[in-house]
Amino acid sequence: MRSVSKKQPPGAQSRVTMRDIAEIAGVSRTTVSHALSGQGRVEASTRERIREIAKNVGFVPSPTALALKTGRTGVLAIVNATTGGTLEYFMLAASAASYEALEAGYTLALVPNESQETWVRQLPMDGAIVLDPLDDDPIMTVLRERGTPVVTIGDTPGDRRVQEPTVGIDRITGAHAVLDHLHQRGARHPALIIDQQQRRWIMETRYAYTEWMHRRDLEPIILDVPDQAPDEEVFTAVRGLVQHADVDAAYVPFGPMAAAVLAAIADLQLEVPRRFRIVSQEGIRARTGRPTLTALDDRPDEVARLAMHALIERLTDPGTAIQARLVQPSLIVRQTT
C-alpha cells in the first residue's frame, strides 16, 4: 500500500485521486466514489473513515465531475424565512453552515430576502436549510413541491404529516434561566418585551415566561412590539409600561429592541441595574454597548453546524431517521443585571 503525503503544497504537480484514497483505505475506487458522493450503500463507519482520509490527504473532488456522475449540483442553500431577525444572527449561522458544507464538498448559496420564493423555486440546489419558517410557510411549500431535502432551524412547520429534520434552541430552558437569574438579582415583576408573530421561538418564549410567572402567582406582563418597529415606538411603549405597571425588570429576546428599552429606562431616571434589570439577546450591542447587556446566547453557529450536518446526512443516506435536535443556550452575565 503506497502512502500519500498530507495537504500537498500549492504548486505541487501531483494531484490526489480517488484511486489513491482507495489504496489507503483498502477499499475499491467505487466504494470511495459512493462514500464521497452519497450514492450507493456504504456503511456509515466506512463512509466516515474514507471522508477523513480524503480530508487528511487534501483531496478536492471536481464539482463538474460530481454533477455529471450524480446528477447533483453540489450546491446547498440557506434561506432566512424570518422577515425581521438580526443580520448578525443570520451571518453567524451562514458562516458556520458554509464551513460544514465546504468540508463536505458542497457550496453554500445564501438566498436573498428579496423575491425569496422565486429564487427558491429556480435555484439549482441539492438541499436547503430554512431558518425559522412560519406554519404553512410558502418557502416550505415550494421546497416540498420541488422534492428538495430540507432541514429547518426551528420547529418543522405546516402539515404535521410532512416532517423534516429540525435543529432548535431550548427556548423553555433558556427563558427560565433568564427569569431565574433576574429573580436572584432582586427582580420581582419582570416583563417580557416581544413580537406577536407566530414563529415557534416567539411562542415558546411567551409560553415559558407565562408559565414561570404563574408558578409564582404573578400576573404575566407582556408588551407586544413588532420586531421592525421604529425605536421611537419601542421607547414610548416601554416608557408607558414601566410607568403604569409594577415592573422592575425586562427580558428583551430580540436584541435590536434593547437600545430603545435602555433609553426609556434612562428617561425615567431608573438606575440600571439597581432599580431596573435587563436581559437581551447576545450580539454586538450586548457585548460592546454602554452598559453592556446581560444576554442569552442562542448559539447560532452551533445550531447551523448541526443543521448542515443533518442536511448532508439526508443527502448521503436518504433513509436516515428524521430527528429533532435541541441546542442549549447559555446566559452571559454583564452590567445590566
CATH code for position 109:
3.40.50.2300
Is 3 a member of any domain?
no
Residue 287: count of CB within 10 angstroms of its CB: 12
Share of the chain above pLDDT 70, in %: 88
Is 187 a member of any domain?
yes
Is 119 a member of any domain?
yes
Mean of pLDDT values over 185-212:
91
- Contact call for residues 73 and 128 (beta carbons, < 8 A): no
Mean of pLDDT values over 124-148:
89
Check residue 198 and give its pLDDT: 75
pLDDT tens-place string over residues 278-299? 999 999 999 999 999 999 999 9
Is 203 a member of any domain?
yes
Please give the sequence-ordered ranges of beta strands (E in DSSP) within 213-334, or none if there are none: 222-224, 249-251, 277-281, 294-297, 324-327, 330-332
Residues 43 and 83 in one domain: no
Which CATH number fits the domain that encloses residue 31?
Answer: 1.10.260.40
Residues 282 and 184 in one domain: yes
Residues 205 and 256 in one domain: yes
Beta strands 150-153; 107-111: pairing state:
unpaired
Return the minimum-mean-pLDDT range out of 7-11, 102-106, 192-196.
7-11
Residues 287 and 224 in one domain: yes
- Contact call for residues 252 and 209 (beta carbons, < 8 A): no
Q: Which residues contact 323 (CB under 8 A, 6 or more apart)?
A: 165, 310
- Contact call for residues 265 and 252 (beta carbons, < 8 A): no
pLDDT tens-place string over residues 231-240? 899 999 999 9
pLDDT band at 8 (very low <50, low <70, confident <90, very high): very low
Residues 259 and 313 in one domain: no
* Per-residue pLDDT at 64 exceeds 70: no
Residues 58 and 84 in one domain: no
Residues 188 and 287 in one domain: yes
What is this structure's pTM?
Answer: 0.76
Residues 176 and 239 in one domain: yes
* Per-residue pLDDT at 265 exceeds 60: yes
DSSP helix/strand/coil, 100: helix
The count of structural domains within the chain is: 3
Check residue 228 and give its pLDDT: 79
Q: Is the peptide bond before 230 cis (omega within 30 degrees of 0)?
A: no
Q: For residue 126, give the nearest of 74, 62, 69 by alpha carbon.
A: 74
Q: Using CA atoms, how far apart are residues 242 and 258, in angstroms rounded to an integer? A: 15
Residues 110 and 48 in one domain: no
Return the minimum-mean-pLDDT range out of 169-183, 192-206, 252-266.
192-206
Check residue 235 and give its pLDDT: 94
- 3-state SS string over 4-73? CCCCCCCCCCCCCCHHHHHHHHCCCHHHHHHHHHCCCCCCHHHHHHHHHHHHHCCCCCCHHHHHHHHCCC
Residues 104 and 136 in one domain: yes
pLDDT band at 69 (very low <50, low <70, confident <90, very high): low
Out of 53, 70, 87, pick the residue that ends a domain. Answer: 70
Check residue 66 and give its pLDDT: 58
Check residue 177 and give its pLDDT: 98
Is 8 a member of any domain?
no
Check residue 73 and give its pLDDT: 81
- Cell numbers of 64, please? 463538474
Residues 34 and 180 in one domain: no
Residues 48 and 109 in one domain: no
Is 183 a member of any domain?
yes
pLDDT tens-place string over residues 212-222? 999 999 999 99
pLDDT band at 330 (very low <50, low <70, confident <90, very high): very high
Domain of residue 116 covers 75-169+300-329
Mean of pLDDT values over 268-278:
95
pLDDT band at 4 (very low <50, low <70, confident <90, very high): very low
pLDDT band at 110 (very low <50, low <70, confident <90, very high): very high
- Cell numbers of 330, please? 447559555
* Per-residue pLDDT at 157 exceeds 70: no
Check residue 2 and give its pLDDT: 46
Is 334 a member of any domain?
no
Is 10 a member of any domain?
no
